[in-house]
Structure 1
Amino acid sequence: MTTAVAAVLAVVFLWLGHVVAISFIEAPLRFRAPDVTVRIGIGIGRVVFRALNTVESVLALILVVIFVAGAAGTDAVIPIVIAVVVLAAQLVLVRPRLTRRTTRAMAGEQLPRSRAHLVYVLFEIVKAAALLTGGLLLISGA
């Protein structure tokens, strides 16, 4: 395994760990904590997901730089590119809608369930699966 491939492997699993920890563990549990109101939970979520998306963007940029430099040509590039594209879609297409919605909810407006939230969750599942697949391909040497 080359240094570049090892670096990609580390970044991929670091990114996957962040997504799993925040999106699939912290976020669902946040509203189950005692005395956490919807407003407080949303406020915490906005801060946490802004930080997560910043970290994800940096990790995605590192991966793009390594692949563009040609230092890690591998079959894992396809699922990793899928993860990067999904992140971009979340940031450009879904997050602005969720931000507008959470602003309204924090102002006290009662809102129905959000399709944008479900799309974001679906993208998180696709992104996690793509990162896992890319990481496993790197480990297998494909």
Structure 2
Amino acid sequence: MPSPSDTGAILEKGREAFSRIQNLLGRTPGRYLYDLHREPEEPSSYELIQAAGSWEKALSAMGVERARAGGPHYTDEELLSSLHALLQTLNPHERLTTQKAARHYARGELLAHPATYILRFGSWRNALSAARDPARKKKN
């Protein structure tokens, strides 16, 4: 565990990084998005947890207001329309992996993170298939 002075410095740097990332994304990032968008010199989520004891305690110590639980709620059609629109902008032979989709999401080109699509449709492949389907029905 870091010393109290180190803890304060880590949390202050984390607060600045968190604020920058929050402004970039337009919403409160979780650990994954925080680490994805932080600069190398900014503390990692692991370092923040080590300094505060948990992610929740780190957020509290940094004065971060959490977004409501579960984040925004989108209908299947909203998710599929967003993914369909993104697919239309890509080269038809380009494979849209979850990593590429996460980058599009970070740039605001996709409504939700790929993990949301996987949870909703069972797999990334199912989500892509449903988005390409003209009838646009949720695949079970």
Specify which structure has the higher proportion of helix.
1
TM-score in terms of structure 2 length: 0.32
The structure with the largest alpha-carbon Rg is: 2
Using CA pairs under 8 Å that are at least 6 residues apart, name the structure with larger relative contact order, 1 or 2.
1
